[in-house]
Amino acid sequence: MTSDYFQFKVIHQSKKSRARVGQIITPHGVIDTPNFVPVGTNGAMKGVDSQLLEKSNVQLMFCNTYHLMLQPGEEIVANAGGLHTFMNRTQPIITDSGGFQVFSLMYGGVASEIKSKGTKSHNNSIVKISEDGVTFRSYRDGKMIHLTAETSIQAQKKLGADIILSFDELPPYHIDAAALKKSFDRTHRWEERSLIEHKKNPNNQALYCIVHGGIDDNLRKTSVEILKKLDFDGYAIGGSVGKNREEMILMLQNLMPHMPYNKPNHLLGIADLPSIEQSIPLGIDTFDSSHPSKCARHGKLFTENGDLNILRSGNNQRFEPISETCDCYTCKNYTIAYLNHLFKAHELSAYTLATIHNTQFITNLMKNYREKILNDLL
Amino acid sequence: MTSDYFQFKVIHQSKKSRARVGQIITPHGVIDTPNFVPVGTNGAMKGVDSQLLEKSNVQLMFCNTYHLMLQPGEEIVANAGGLHTFMNRTQPIITDSGGFQVFSLMYGGVASEIKSKGTKSHNNSIVKISEDGVTFRSYRDGKMIHLTAETSIQAQKKLGADIILSFDELPPYHIDAAALKKSFDRTHRWEERSLIEHKKNPNNQALYCIVHGGIDDNLRKTSVEILKKLDFDGYAIGGSVGKNREEMILMLQNLMPHMPYNKPNHLLGIADLPSIEQSIPLGIDTFDSSHPSKCARHGKLFTENGDLNILRSGNNQRFEPISETCDCYTCKNYTIAYLNHLFKAHELSAYTLATIHNTQFITNLMKNYREKILNDLL
């Protein structure tokens, strides 16, 4: 798939699985795939400024349109010269449509909706959902906001990320077949409208569609068939991906062979280490999630030997880095004992240093996966 | 004043005032004076890791023995190889004796004691004050801790800073003359005991005494006379320095001509910009305070044109650095509009970036003061 400003190349197809090494080429640089995409919701990764993040080998960063629309507002970002200039990031950025956050607010968050078995009462921030789009109330100032395929794409044009996402509805996990089908059909109409709006002003941006269908294999297959007829630059897998990893992997096993081979495939919102390991052989190219940085802020640090709980007793006298082989800023400069102390003293730099480590650990892990694929070992 | 591991040299005496440009030479490097000494209470500046701080031209950093004794404990720091290794700071460090924190806890903090007009009820963390020292309860685990001249110096030996402070009592601002005199006499006995303990094991450290006497000019003069008979490496000005800047400057105008000329003079706990400006011509060489970093975390950013309140309306569209002439990491990389956004979004990196700016702004200001003194303009 080629355009002036966006390309995806498969560099090597593993002989062992559907895993592939590729390159996504964007106006702000190359993303080697498979790769991890950390989340900087507000145009900033929590605790790590943009320049420091670029030193952690992060090739693509995920920002949330919903949050940026509410604060500072897409107009201010546009006046700054776009998101790259505003946050001083020179490398590629992807934004979502805002739909995910609006709808997940409605269910009080994806994880808690799944746990609630569908009994979770709805949040009243959403005022109205119609064929046109969704109307909700800003949590910041109570202002009414009307989000549609068109307004979401227009906002993403103003933010100016390299990759943008179609506007979609996030149906809950606990949904009956009829309601899922209704949401499914509307979501695909919204995606087509997103594409039409995008084509009016491509703005050197690539538009990804979002494959829906929950954990219904036939719906997932149908979704890909519908979307393949349209000219999207990449394919994200969204909607509910199941109540646990097993359900998600089963769904992906059935879905991935139907995905277009020559377009990048992104798995939305999932990047825990076991899910990455199991999804790469199925052909997933990029993974975004705030999970690694949340772990970091809770003192759960990634190592080759599993997670290190920095607050565990005994860690106050370990005068060695988190990982002897890690080349991150934190491991090059600080010991487990010092990090244990910073966490116990509630020092802000604890969160920064832990986040840098987990982020670079996972980007390094991705590099290792790419090397394995190049050698047909994965 | 010269030893193998500690020297103070006056490079230039201003013809216009008592201000002087000097150099303090320590085992971990040179401190150009006058200079600002940021506070990293827990062996870390809030929001700025040690390596990043070294890039902000900070030549001397102040850490608190009281906090480090309670967390992680001086033994752990010693096992790490001392505070420099523990926190990965290559440049000079100064620690206090712990006395200030213990006593200020008793009055609920220096500022609130002054405001209370002496009616503030005492905190019950202090169990006993005697000729020997003070017994208090750890706020972390309730453990009873006995702090004396000897245990404070021993703890500071374990921490291993380049400059350490004598153990003293902090009398409140609201104190009658008899009680102040009693505290004054005991404090000087504690300081002499600190020196005796220090001389048993100099450990390449310099020991500063602390000049006391509150705002009583005769007591301040007497304090200097007592301390001059002892072999201290430098002189800190402690105790209550008055209820406002005017009282402090009056006290310093009377005190400074009595201070030994060839030893470094440190003003404890004061580093707001007007106090620095008014104290340098009186001969103060170094200033420590957490004030600039507290201002930063509250979004009050220093500029040549006065303080910038980052949250003020209108700052969301100022696409320029905090200061066009500042060479700090924050000003080189980010705009006022982006910082305004980070503060509004409660992003952790807001505090980091603001602290870097205020710290480097003030270290740069100190450099300007040194240049002015060298040219007899101050």
Domain ranges for chain A: 33-289, 290-378
Mean of pLDDT values over B72-78: 97
Read out DSSP for A236-262?
Answer: EE-S---SSHHHHHHHHHHHGGGS-TT
Average pLDDT rounded to a whole number, residues B277-292: 97
C-alpha closest to that of B188 among B270, B257, B131: B131
pLDDT higher than 60, residue B120: no
Strand (E) or helix (H) holding B211: strand B206-211
3-state secondary structure of A204: coil
Residue B19 pLDDT level (bands cut at 50, 70, 90): very high
For residues B176-180, give the mean pLDDT: 90
* pLDDT band for position B340 (cuts 50, 70, 90): very high
> Under an 8 A CB cutoff, do B49 and A348 touch?
no
Average pLDDT over residues A131-152: 90
State the catalytic residue, choosing from B162, B272, B288, B307: B288
Q: How confident is the model at residue A2 (pLDDT cuts 50, 70, 90)?
A: low
pLDDT band at A93 (very low <50, low <70, confident <90, very high): very high
B49, A76: Cβ pair inside 8 Å? no
Point out the catalytic residue in the list B96, B168, B216, B233.
B96
The larger pLDDT score, comparing residue A338 to residue A100, is at: A338
Confidence of residue B48 (pLDDT cuts 50, 70, 90): very high
Average pLDDT of chain A is 94
In chain B, whose CA is at the least distance from the CA of A86? B338
Residues of chain B positioned with their CB less than 8 A from the CB of A43: 338, 341
B88 CB near a chain A CB, below 8 Å?
yes
Contact A234, A265 (CB under 8 A): yes
Chain B nearest C-alpha distance from A45 (Å): 8
Distance from CA of A76 to the nearest CA of B (A): 7
Which ipTM did the prediction report? 0.95
Instruction: Assess whether pLDDT exceeds 80 at residue B127.
Output: no
Whole-number pLDDT of residue A193: 98
Scanning B14-53 for CB atoms below 8 A from A yields: 42-51
Residue A120: is its pLDDT beyond 60? no
Domain A33-289 belongs to what architecture? Alpha-Beta Barrel (3.20)
Structure confidence at residue B136 as a pLDDT band (50, 70, 90): confident
CB of B353 within 8 Å of a chain A CB? The answer is yes
Q: What is the pLDDT of residue B200?
A: 98
Residues B203 and B207: their CA atoms lie apart, in Å, by 11
Contact criterion met (CB < 8 Å) for B352 and A347: no
Of A88, A342, A351, Cβ closest to residue B348: A351
Residues above pLDDT 90, as percent of chain B: 83
Beta carbons within 10 angstroms of residue A200's beta carbon? 11
The model's pLDDT over B191-232, given as tens digits with 9 standing for 90+, comes to 999 999 999 999 999 999 999 999 999 999 999 999 999 999
Say whether B203 sits in a helix, a strand or coil.
coil
Q: How far is B110 from chain A (nearest CA, A)?
A: 22
Q: In the predicted model, what is the mean pLDDT of chain B?
A: 94
Q: What percent of chain A has pLDDT over 70?
A: 97
Is the separation of the CB atoms in B28 and B92 below 8 Å?
A: yes
Q: Can you read off the two tokens belonging to residue A350?
A: 């604890």
Q: Give pLDDT, residue A102.
A: 81
Q: Does residue B266 carry a pLDDT above 60?
A: yes
Between residues A288 and A56, the one the model is more confident about: A288
Report whether A169 contacts A121 (CB < 8 A).
no
Distances (CA, A) of B237 to B14, B93, B106: 22, 18, 21
Task: Please tell me the distance in Å from A369's CA to the nearest CA on chain B.
Answer: 31
CATH fit for domain B34-289, picks 1.20.1290.10, 1.20.140.10, 2.60.200.30, 3.20.20.105: 3.20.20.105
Please write the tens of the pLDDT for every residue from A197-239.
Answer: 999 999 999 999 999 999 999 999 999 999 999 999 999 999 9
Is A319–B345 a contact, with Cβ atoms under 8 angstroms apart?
no
Average pLDDT of the residues in B152-156: 98
Q: Which residue has the higher pLDDT, B128 or A355?
A: A355
Residues A263 and A283 sit within 8 Å (Cβ to Cβ): no
Amino acid at B327: D
* B316 interaction partners in chain A (CB closer than 8 Å): 72, 76
Closest residue to A316, CB basis, from B43, B76, B319: B76
Measured in angstroms, the CA of A329 and the nearest CA of chain B are apart by: 10
Nearest Cα to A153, choosing from A114, A211, A107, A96?
A: A96
Residue whose entry in the numeric block shows the structure tokens 């790490």? B80
The pLDDT score that the predictor gives to residue A204 is 97
pLDDT digits (tens, 9 = 90+) for A281-336: 999 999 999 999 999 999 999 999 999 999 999 999 999 999 999 999 999 999 99
CB contact under 8 A, B42 and A338: no
Active-site residues of A, by number, are 96, 288
pLDDT at A99: 86
Contact flag B44-A319 (C-beta cutoff 8 Å): no
Q: Where are the alpha helices (DSSP H) in chain A?
A: 50-54, 65-70, 74-80, 83-87, 99-106, 110-115, 149-159, 177-200, 217-228, 245-255, 273-279, 291-297, 329-333, 336-344, 348-374
Q: At what angle do helices A217-228 and A245-255 cross, to 10 degrees?
A: 50
Residue A271 pLDDT exceeds 80: yes
DSSP secondary structure letters along A286-306: EEEESHHHHHHHTTEE--TTS
Average pLDDT estimate for A60-83:
97
pLDDT of residue B4: 79
Chain B interface includes A235 (CB < 8 A): no
Is pLDDT above 60 for A122? no
